[in-house]
Amino acid sequence: MTRKNLIYAALVILLGGAALSSAVKGSGHALPLRTLTLFSLPGLYSAEADSRPGDIFASGSVILNELTAGEPEILDGEDYGDYLLPQITPAVPITPPAGARPLSALTVKGASGQLNSGNLYIKNPTSAKIDAATLLKTPITWKFTKDGPDILIIHTHGSESYNPHGGAYWLADDSSRSLDITQNVVQVGADLARILHEAGYRVLHSTTMYDQPTYSTSYSSALKGVQAYLKKYPSIRMVIDIHRDAMSNENTKYKIVSEIDGESCAQLMFVMGTGLSGLSFPNWRKNLTFAAQVQSAVLEKYPTLMRPITITKHRYNEHTTPASCILEVGTDGNTLEEARRAIGYFGEVLAEFLKSYR
Protein backbone atom coordinates (compact mmCIF):
# COMPACT_ATOMS: atom_id res chain seq x y z
CA MET A 1 0.00 0.00 0.00
CA THR A 2 1.39 3.42 -0.93
CA ARG A 3 1.65 6.23 1.60
CA LYS A 4 -0.93 8.19 -0.41
CA ASN A 5 -3.43 5.30 -0.28
CA LEU A 6 -2.78 4.93 3.44
CA ILE A 7 -3.69 8.57 3.97
CA TYR A 8 -6.97 7.95 2.11
CA ALA A 9 -7.61 4.96 4.36
CA ALA A 10 -7.10 7.07 7.47
CA LEU A 11 -9.47 9.70 6.11
CA VAL A 12 -12.13 7.01 5.59
CA ILE A 13 -12.08 6.40 9.32
CA LEU A 14 -12.10 10.07 10.26
CA LEU A 15 -14.71 11.29 7.80
CA GLY A 16 -16.84 8.20 7.13
CA GLY A 17 -17.00 6.10 4.01
CA ALA A 18 -19.84 7.93 2.30
CA ALA A 19 -18.26 11.37 2.65
CA LEU A 20 -14.87 10.27 1.45
CA SER A 21 -16.05 8.09 -1.43
CA SER A 22 -16.80 11.07 -3.63
CA ALA A 23 -13.63 12.83 -2.50
CA VAL A 24 -11.47 9.88 -3.49
CA LYS A 25 -13.16 9.47 -6.85
CA GLY A 26 -12.79 13.19 -7.46
CA SER A 27 -9.08 12.98 -6.77
CA GLY A 28 -8.59 10.66 -9.72
CA HIS A 29 -7.76 7.67 -7.51
CA ALA A 30 -10.46 5.03 -7.91
CA LEU A 31 -9.20 2.70 -5.20
CA PRO A 32 -10.56 -0.87 -5.54
CA LEU A 33 -10.31 -1.37 -1.78
CA ARG A 34 -11.43 -4.73 -0.49
CA THR A 35 -11.15 -4.54 3.23
CA LEU A 36 -11.54 -7.13 5.91
CA THR A 37 -9.81 -7.28 9.25
CA LEU A 38 -8.43 -10.37 10.88
CA PHE A 39 -6.87 -9.88 14.27
CA SER A 40 -4.55 -12.01 16.41
CA LEU A 41 -2.90 -14.12 13.75
CA PRO A 42 0.85 -14.49 13.21
CA GLY A 43 0.36 -12.06 10.33
CA LEU A 44 -2.58 -9.73 9.74
CA TYR A 45 -4.74 -11.05 6.92
CA SER A 46 -6.71 -8.43 5.09
CA ALA A 47 -9.10 -9.36 2.33
CA GLU A 48 -12.64 -8.79 1.15
CA ALA A 49 -13.99 -11.86 -0.54
CA ASP A 50 -16.84 -10.25 -2.42
CA SER A 51 -16.71 -6.47 -2.75
CA ARG A 52 -17.16 -4.34 -5.80
CA PRO A 53 -14.43 -2.19 -7.40
CA GLY A 54 -14.54 1.38 -6.18
CA ASP A 55 -16.16 0.63 -2.82
CA ILE A 56 -14.60 2.38 0.15
CA PHE A 57 -14.87 0.57 3.45
CA ALA A 58 -13.55 0.90 6.97
CA SER A 59 -13.66 -1.17 10.13
CA GLY A 60 -12.51 -1.03 13.73
CA SER A 61 -8.73 -1.22 14.17
CA VAL A 62 -8.58 -1.80 10.45
CA ILE A 63 -5.86 -2.04 7.88
CA LEU A 64 -7.09 -1.01 4.44
CA ASN A 65 -5.28 -2.66 1.57
CA GLU A 66 -5.45 -2.55 -2.20
CA LEU A 67 -5.84 -6.23 -3.00
CA THR A 68 -5.94 -8.15 -6.22
CA ALA A 69 -7.69 -11.43 -6.87
CA GLY A 70 -6.17 -14.54 -5.36
CA GLU A 71 -4.82 -15.24 -1.92
CA PRO A 72 -5.05 -12.47 0.71
CA GLU A 73 -2.03 -10.36 1.38
CA ILE A 74 -0.27 -11.15 4.66
CA LEU A 75 1.24 -8.25 6.50
CA ASP A 76 3.97 -8.95 9.03
CA GLY A 77 5.33 -6.28 11.31
CA GLU A 78 3.99 -3.27 9.42
CA ASP A 79 2.63 -0.51 11.60
CA TYR A 80 -0.26 1.34 9.98
CA GLY A 81 -1.64 2.72 13.20
CA ASP A 82 -4.78 1.84 15.11
CA TYR A 83 -7.76 3.39 13.37
CA LEU A 84 -10.62 3.34 15.84
CA LEU A 85 -14.22 4.04 14.94
CA PRO A 86 -16.06 6.90 16.67
CA GLN A 87 -16.76 6.55 20.36
CA ILE A 88 -20.32 6.60 21.69
CA THR A 89 -21.42 10.18 22.25
CA PRO A 90 -23.70 11.17 25.15
CA ALA A 91 -27.35 11.81 24.36
CA VAL A 92 -28.53 15.43 24.24
CA PRO A 93 -32.06 16.74 24.85
CA ILE A 94 -34.04 16.92 21.63
CA THR A 95 -37.03 19.15 20.90
CA PRO A 96 -39.40 17.44 18.44
CA PRO A 97 -40.11 19.51 15.31
CA ALA A 98 -43.50 19.93 13.68
CA GLY A 99 -44.66 16.65 12.20
CA ALA A 100 -42.79 14.52 14.72
CA ARG A 101 -44.44 11.17 15.39
CA PRO A 102 -44.42 9.19 18.63
CA LEU A 103 -41.73 6.67 19.44
CA SER A 104 -42.50 4.25 22.25
CA ALA A 105 -40.03 2.21 24.28
CA LEU A 106 -40.79 -1.33 25.32
CA THR A 107 -38.91 -4.31 26.71
CA VAL A 108 -39.77 -7.63 25.08
CA LYS A 109 -39.74 -10.62 27.41
CA GLY A 110 -40.67 -14.27 27.18
CA ALA A 111 -44.39 -14.99 27.21
CA SER A 112 -46.64 -17.86 28.20
CA GLY A 113 -47.22 -20.20 25.30
CA GLN A 114 -43.66 -19.87 24.07
CA LEU A 115 -41.17 -22.70 24.40
CA ASN A 116 -39.35 -22.23 27.66
CA SER A 117 -36.66 -23.68 29.91
CA GLY A 118 -35.26 -21.54 32.69
CA ASN A 119 -34.43 -18.12 31.27
CA LEU A 120 -34.63 -19.37 27.68
CA TYR A 121 -37.73 -18.49 25.65
CA ILE A 122 -38.29 -19.45 22.02
CA LYS A 123 -40.97 -18.14 19.68
CA ASN A 124 -41.72 -20.96 17.23
CA PRO A 125 -44.43 -20.27 14.63
CA THR A 126 -43.22 -23.19 12.50
CA SER A 127 -44.03 -26.91 12.57
CA ALA A 128 -40.52 -27.78 13.79
CA LYS A 129 -40.48 -29.89 16.95
CA ILE A 130 -38.21 -28.16 19.47
CA ASP A 131 -37.61 -28.80 23.16
CA ALA A 132 -35.98 -25.89 24.98
CA ALA A 133 -34.59 -27.99 27.82
CA THR A 134 -32.92 -30.38 25.38
CA LEU A 135 -31.22 -27.48 23.61
CA LEU A 136 -29.61 -26.36 26.85
CA LYS A 137 -28.36 -29.87 27.67
CA THR A 138 -27.10 -30.92 24.24
CA PRO A 139 -23.28 -30.77 23.97
CA ILE A 140 -21.76 -28.44 21.39
CA THR A 141 -19.27 -30.62 19.54
CA TRP A 142 -17.33 -28.24 17.28
CA LYS A 143 -14.09 -26.52 18.29
CA PHE A 144 -12.06 -23.64 16.95
CA THR A 145 -8.86 -24.68 15.24
CA LYS A 146 -5.46 -23.00 15.29
CA ASP A 147 -5.27 -22.90 11.51
CA GLY A 148 -6.73 -19.47 10.79
CA PRO A 149 -9.77 -17.25 11.44
CA ASP A 150 -12.33 -18.38 14.01
CA ILE A 151 -15.26 -16.03 13.41
CA LEU A 152 -16.69 -14.14 10.44
CA ILE A 153 -19.02 -11.16 10.99
CA ILE A 154 -21.12 -10.11 7.99
CA HIS A 155 -24.07 -7.86 7.13
CA THR A 156 -26.59 -9.24 4.64
CA HIS A 157 -28.60 -6.03 5.07
CA GLY A 158 -25.65 -3.78 5.77
CA SER A 159 -27.44 -0.49 5.05
CA GLU A 160 -29.88 -0.97 7.96
CA SER A 161 -29.50 2.07 10.21
CA TYR A 162 -30.99 3.59 13.36
CA ASN A 163 -33.12 6.48 14.58
CA PRO A 164 -31.32 9.76 13.84
CA HIS A 165 -33.25 11.82 16.40
CA GLY A 166 -31.85 10.46 19.63
CA GLY A 167 -34.65 7.94 19.92
CA ALA A 168 -37.09 10.71 20.84
CA TYR A 169 -39.40 10.69 17.80
CA TRP A 170 -39.52 9.84 14.11
CA LEU A 171 -40.50 11.68 10.94
CA ALA A 172 -42.47 10.42 7.97
CA ASP A 173 -39.57 11.09 5.61
CA ASP A 174 -36.94 9.38 7.78
CA SER A 175 -34.86 6.78 6.02
CA SER A 176 -34.03 3.57 7.87
CA ARG A 177 -31.09 2.96 5.53
CA SER A 178 -27.66 4.52 5.32
CA LEU A 179 -24.59 3.84 3.21
CA ASP A 180 -22.39 5.45 5.88
CA ILE A 181 -20.77 2.51 7.66
CA THR A 182 -20.30 4.56 10.82
CA GLN A 183 -24.10 5.01 11.04
CA ASN A 184 -25.48 1.58 10.15
CA VAL A 185 -25.14 -2.00 11.38
CA VAL A 186 -21.62 -2.23 9.98
CA GLN A 187 -20.54 -0.02 12.90
CA VAL A 188 -22.16 -2.48 15.31
CA GLY A 189 -20.28 -5.33 13.64
CA ALA A 190 -17.02 -3.41 13.97
CA ASP A 191 -17.63 -3.04 17.71
CA LEU A 192 -18.26 -6.76 18.11
CA ALA A 193 -15.17 -7.60 16.05
CA ARG A 194 -13.04 -5.40 18.28
CA ILE A 195 -14.43 -6.94 21.48
CA LEU A 196 -13.80 -10.49 20.29
CA HIS A 197 -10.35 -9.57 19.00
CA GLU A 198 -9.41 -8.07 22.35
CA ALA A 199 -10.53 -11.33 23.97
CA GLY A 200 -8.06 -13.24 21.79
CA TYR A 201 -10.26 -14.56 18.98
CA ARG A 202 -9.30 -14.41 15.32
CA VAL A 203 -12.05 -12.36 13.70
CA LEU A 204 -12.91 -11.39 10.17
CA HIS A 205 -15.33 -8.50 9.69
CA SER A 206 -16.75 -8.07 6.20
CA THR A 207 -17.95 -4.52 5.62
CA THR A 208 -19.66 -5.37 2.34
CA MET A 209 -23.30 -4.28 2.32
CA TYR A 210 -24.87 -7.20 0.49
CA ASP A 211 -28.17 -5.35 0.10
CA GLN A 212 -26.46 -2.95 -2.30
CA PRO A 213 -27.23 -2.29 -5.05
CA THR A 214 -30.16 -4.77 -5.05
CA TYR A 215 -32.04 -5.58 -1.84
CA SER A 216 -33.94 -8.55 -3.27
CA THR A 217 -30.72 -10.49 -3.90
CA SER A 218 -29.18 -9.77 -0.50
CA TYR A 219 -29.13 -13.35 0.76
CA SER A 220 -27.89 -14.90 -2.46
CA SER A 221 -25.14 -12.29 -2.64
CA ALA A 222 -24.23 -12.84 0.99
CA LEU A 223 -24.12 -16.60 0.48
CA LYS A 224 -21.60 -16.20 -2.32
CA GLY A 225 -19.51 -13.98 -0.08
CA VAL A 226 -19.60 -16.39 2.86
CA GLN A 227 -18.75 -19.34 0.64
CA ALA A 228 -15.76 -17.44 -0.73
CA TYR A 229 -14.52 -16.78 2.81
CA LEU A 230 -14.99 -20.40 3.82
CA LYS A 231 -13.07 -21.53 0.76
CA LYS A 232 -10.15 -19.29 1.69
CA TYR A 233 -10.48 -19.83 5.44
CA PRO A 234 -11.96 -23.27 6.19
CA SER A 235 -11.08 -22.74 9.86
CA ILE A 236 -14.13 -20.45 10.31
CA ARG A 237 -16.62 -22.07 12.67
CA MET A 238 -18.99 -19.18 13.30
CA VAL A 239 -20.69 -16.64 11.01
CA ILE A 240 -22.59 -13.84 12.76
CA ASP A 241 -24.91 -11.92 10.43
CA ILE A 242 -25.80 -8.66 12.20
CA HIS A 243 -29.08 -6.98 11.28
CA ARG A 244 -31.42 -4.33 12.66
CA ASP A 245 -35.13 -5.07 13.18
CA ALA A 246 -38.19 -2.81 12.77
CA MET A 247 -41.38 -2.63 14.84
CA SER A 248 -44.35 -0.33 14.28
CA ASN A 249 -48.08 -0.11 14.83
CA GLU A 250 -50.06 2.40 12.79
CA ASN A 251 -48.35 5.75 13.53
CA THR A 252 -46.15 4.54 16.36
CA LYS A 253 -42.68 3.08 16.06
CA TYR A 254 -41.14 1.08 18.85
CA LYS A 255 -37.67 1.03 20.25
CA ILE A 256 -36.86 -2.09 22.24
CA VAL A 257 -34.76 -1.41 25.29
CA SER A 258 -32.92 -3.03 28.16
CA GLU A 259 -31.64 -0.84 30.98
CA ILE A 260 -28.17 -1.83 32.16
CA ASP A 261 -26.21 0.19 34.73
CA GLY A 262 -28.65 3.05 34.34
CA GLU A 263 -28.23 3.33 30.56
CA SER A 264 -30.59 2.41 27.76
CA CYS A 265 -29.44 -0.42 25.49
CA ALA A 266 -31.17 -1.96 22.50
CA GLN A 267 -32.47 -5.48 22.89
CA LEU A 268 -31.01 -8.23 20.70
CA MET A 269 -32.64 -11.28 19.12
CA PHE A 270 -31.42 -14.45 17.44
CA VAL A 271 -33.35 -15.46 14.32
CA MET A 272 -32.69 -19.14 13.72
CA GLY A 273 -33.55 -21.04 10.56
CA THR A 274 -34.65 -24.58 9.84
CA GLY A 275 -34.90 -26.79 6.79
CA LEU A 276 -38.65 -26.31 6.44
CA SER A 277 -38.46 -24.02 3.41
CA GLY A 278 -37.23 -26.88 1.24
CA LEU A 279 -33.61 -25.71 1.10
CA SER A 280 -31.13 -28.17 2.56
CA PHE A 281 -30.27 -27.50 6.19
CA PRO A 282 -29.92 -30.92 7.85
CA ASN A 283 -27.98 -29.68 10.90
CA TRP A 284 -30.11 -26.70 11.87
CA ARG A 285 -30.58 -28.05 15.40
CA LYS A 286 -26.84 -27.67 15.98
CA ASN A 287 -27.04 -23.98 15.14
CA LEU A 288 -30.09 -23.57 17.33
CA THR A 289 -28.40 -25.39 20.20
CA PHE A 290 -25.49 -22.97 20.00
CA ALA A 291 -27.76 -19.90 19.89
CA ALA A 292 -29.88 -21.17 22.77
CA GLN A 293 -26.89 -21.73 25.03
CA VAL A 294 -25.39 -18.33 24.18
CA GLN A 295 -28.77 -16.72 24.84
CA SER A 296 -29.07 -18.39 28.23
CA ALA A 297 -25.56 -17.24 29.19
CA VAL A 298 -26.31 -13.64 28.16
CA LEU A 299 -29.60 -13.57 30.08
CA GLU A 300 -27.93 -15.02 33.15
CA LYS A 301 -25.89 -11.82 33.41
CA TYR A 302 -28.21 -9.33 31.69
CA PRO A 303 -31.79 -10.60 32.17
CA THR A 304 -33.52 -8.31 29.65
CA LEU A 305 -30.82 -7.84 27.02
CA MET A 306 -32.23 -10.44 24.62
CA ARG A 307 -35.68 -11.05 23.21
CA PRO A 308 -36.93 -14.62 22.80
CA ILE A 309 -35.27 -16.53 19.96
CA THR A 310 -37.42 -16.53 16.82
CA ILE A 311 -37.59 -19.70 14.71
CA THR A 312 -38.23 -19.42 10.98
CA LYS A 313 -38.79 -21.92 8.19
CA HIS A 314 -36.08 -20.21 6.12
CA ARG A 315 -32.42 -21.12 6.50
CA TYR A 316 -31.02 -17.59 5.92
CA ASN A 317 -27.55 -18.94 5.02
CA GLU A 318 -27.13 -20.41 8.49
CA HIS A 319 -26.28 -23.78 6.98
CA THR A 320 -22.76 -22.59 6.17
CA THR A 321 -21.19 -23.29 9.60
CA PRO A 322 -22.36 -25.05 12.79
CA ALA A 323 -22.61 -21.74 14.64
CA SER A 324 -23.97 -19.43 11.95
CA CYS A 325 -26.74 -17.15 13.21
CA ILE A 326 -28.66 -13.97 12.54
CA LEU A 327 -28.42 -11.42 15.34
CA GLU A 328 -30.93 -8.56 15.24
CA VAL A 329 -29.65 -5.55 17.20
CA GLY A 330 -32.44 -3.13 18.10
CA THR A 331 -35.03 -1.62 15.77
CA ASP A 332 -35.12 1.47 13.61
CA GLY A 333 -36.57 3.21 16.66
CA ASN A 334 -33.39 2.65 18.65
CA THR A 335 -30.36 4.89 18.40
CA LEU A 336 -27.00 3.72 17.15
CA GLU A 337 -25.61 4.41 20.62
CA GLU A 338 -28.16 2.03 22.17
CA ALA A 339 -27.22 -0.63 19.65
CA ARG A 340 -23.51 -0.19 20.33
CA ARG A 341 -23.97 -0.44 24.08
CA ALA A 342 -26.00 -3.61 23.60
CA ILE A 343 -23.42 -5.30 21.38
CA GLY A 344 -20.79 -4.42 23.96
CA TYR A 345 -22.57 -6.35 26.71
CA PHE A 346 -23.39 -9.20 24.34
CA GLY A 347 -19.82 -9.42 23.10
CA GLU A 348 -18.49 -9.57 26.62
CA VAL A 349 -20.59 -12.65 27.42
CA LEU A 350 -20.01 -14.28 24.03
CA ALA A 351 -16.24 -13.97 24.42
CA GLU A 352 -16.42 -15.73 27.77
CA PHE A 353 -18.80 -18.39 26.49
CA LEU A 354 -16.56 -19.26 23.53
CA LYS A 355 -13.54 -20.01 25.72
CA SER A 356 -14.75 -23.60 26.03
CA TYR A 357 -14.45 -24.09 22.26
CA ARG A 358 -10.85 -23.03 21.71
For 195-208, give one letter per residue: b (16+ CB within 10 A) or e: bbbebebbbbbbbb
Give the Cβ contact number of residue 41 at 10 Å: 13
Distance CA 317, CA 219 (A): 7
- Cα–Cα nearest to 79, from 96, 60, 95, 61: 61
Length reported for the chain: 358
DSSP 77: S
Q: What is the pLDDT of residue 269?
A: 98
Contacts of 303 (CB under 8 A, 6+ apart): 119
Mean pLDDT of the chain: 80
- pLDDT tens per residue across span 77-88: 222 223 234 555
Q: What does the pLDDT read at residue 90?
A: 54
CA distances from 265 to 3, 159, 262, 293 (A): 40, 21, 10, 21
pLDDT band at 63, cuts 50/70/90?
very low
pLDDT band at 72 (very low <50, low <70, confident <90, very high): very low
Q: Where residue 41 falls among pLDDT bands split at 50, 70, 90?
A: very low
Percent of the chain surpassing pLDDT 90 = 68
What per-residue confidence (pLDDT) applies to 92? 55
CATH architecture, domain defined by 103-357? 3-Layer(aba) Sandwich (3.40)
Q: Give the integer Cα–Cα distance in Å for 68 and 64.
A: 13
Residues of the chain with CATH 3.40.630.40: 103-357
Whole-number Å distance between alpha carbons of 347 and 312: 24
Distances (CA, A) of 313 to 31, 157, 291: 41, 19, 16
At 36 the three-state DSSP class reads strand
CA distance 242 to 256: 16
Write down the pTM of the prediction: 0.78
pLDDT score recorded for residue 93: 58
**For 127-154, what is the mean pLDDT?**
96
> How do residues 287-338 score in pLDDT, each as one tens digit?
999 999 999 999 999 999 999 999 999 999 999 999 999 999 999 999 999 9
Cα–Cα distance between 128 and 114 in angstroms, integer?
13
187-224 pLDDT, tens digit per residue, is: 999 999 999 999 999 999 999 999 999 999 999 999 99
